[in-house]
């Protein structure tokens, strides 16, 4: 099973959005936190056709989940959706699932409308859904196993200082548009300059990129030496070798 504990509430909700969009073959809109009226996602805001509620609750008990869902019942009865789904970050017993289904059976086709962590994981384990896993960086990172290789000197060369606290830092990785833009630029141009003031995320983004390419079979080199000659001399003479270099130069 994937490491869902690495995801916070928002990340888990975004993951469920991608899962449910593919399961239902509809586009969903999620909403900001607040008085959501018993919904986290809907296929549109003008009607109550398809509504989805996400409950992370991965470290909670079924009693906690039951209490929360009972509060949602009144809201859902007011909206009377055509189809109502619950995505839950817990594994549930058959009796648990039946109890949840009974609460909302008027708006569910079957107890399959209750997606537990088991069903979510089974869906994501399928090869055709691997793109969803890759999209959610933390999920992909733990699944790839690359964190277990950070001290492999054949993969990460002179990277000890850079990755000294990588397991703690990984909890703070966020896949941003900047990260996506960097990947696209590297794929097209094989080089990128990341510049900016201290504290804006340059090093964090760089680490995420290095881990991604390491998992793709690249050897990773890290240097703070700005000498182009030294960098060239350190690279493999094998032109078919896959290597990526992070040159970290302070102004």
Cβ contacts of 88 within 8 Å, gap of 6 or more: 54, 55, 57, 65, 100, 114, 115, 116, 117
Best CA proximity match to 166, nearest among 137, 146, 182, 194? 146
* Phi, then psi, of 221 in degrees rounded to 5: -120, 140
For residue 36, the 8-state DSSP code is -
Angle at 38 between CA 35 and CA 43, to 5 degrees: 105
Please tell me the distance from the alpha carbon of residue 165 to that of residue 36, in angstroms, as a whole number. Answer: 38
Q: Name the 3-class secondary structure at 30.
A: strand
Residue 198: what pLDDT? 87
Q: Give the pLDDT confidence score for residue 31 in this predicted structure.
A: 73
Give the pLDDT score at 226.
65
Answering whether pTM is above 0.75, one says yes
Cβ(31)–Cβ(39) under 8 Å? yes
Helix (H) or strand (E) holding 42: strand 41-42
Q: What is the pLDDT of residue 223?
A: 85
Q: What is the pLDDT of residue 209?
A: 96
Question: pLDDT below 50 — which residues of the chain?
Answer: 36
């Amino acid at each position: 099973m994937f490491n869902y504990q690495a995801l916070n509430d928002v990340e888990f909700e975004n993951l469920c959005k991608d899962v449910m969009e593919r399961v239902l073959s509809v586009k969903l809109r999620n909403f900001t936190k607040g008085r959501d009226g018993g919904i986290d996602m809907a296929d549109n805001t003008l009607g109550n056709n398809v509504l989805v509620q996400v409950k992370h609750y991965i470290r909670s008990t079924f009693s906690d989940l039951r209490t929360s869902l009972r509060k949602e019942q009144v809201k859902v009865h007011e909206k009377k959706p055509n189809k109502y789904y619950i995505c839950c970050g817990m594994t549930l017993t058959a009796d648990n699932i039946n109890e949840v289904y009974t609460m909302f059976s008027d708006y569910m086709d079957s107890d399959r409308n209750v997606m537990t962590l088991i069903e979510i994981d089974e869906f994501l384990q399928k090869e055709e859904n691997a793109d969803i896993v890759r999209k959610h960086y933390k999920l992909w990172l733990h699944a790839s196993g690359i964190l277990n290789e950070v001290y492999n000197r054949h993969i990460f060369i002179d990277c000890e200082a850079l990755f000294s606290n990588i397991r703690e830092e990984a909890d703070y990785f966020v896949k941003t548009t900047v990260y996506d833009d960097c990947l696209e630029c590297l794929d097209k141009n094989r080089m990128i300059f990341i510049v900016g003031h201290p504290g804006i995320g340059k090093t964090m983004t760089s680490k995420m990129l290095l881990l991604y390419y390491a998992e793709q079979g690249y050897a990773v080199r890290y240097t703070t030496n700005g000498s182009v000659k030294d960098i060239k001399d350190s690279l493999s003479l094998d032109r078919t070798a896959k290597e990526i270099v992070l040159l970290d130069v302070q102004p």
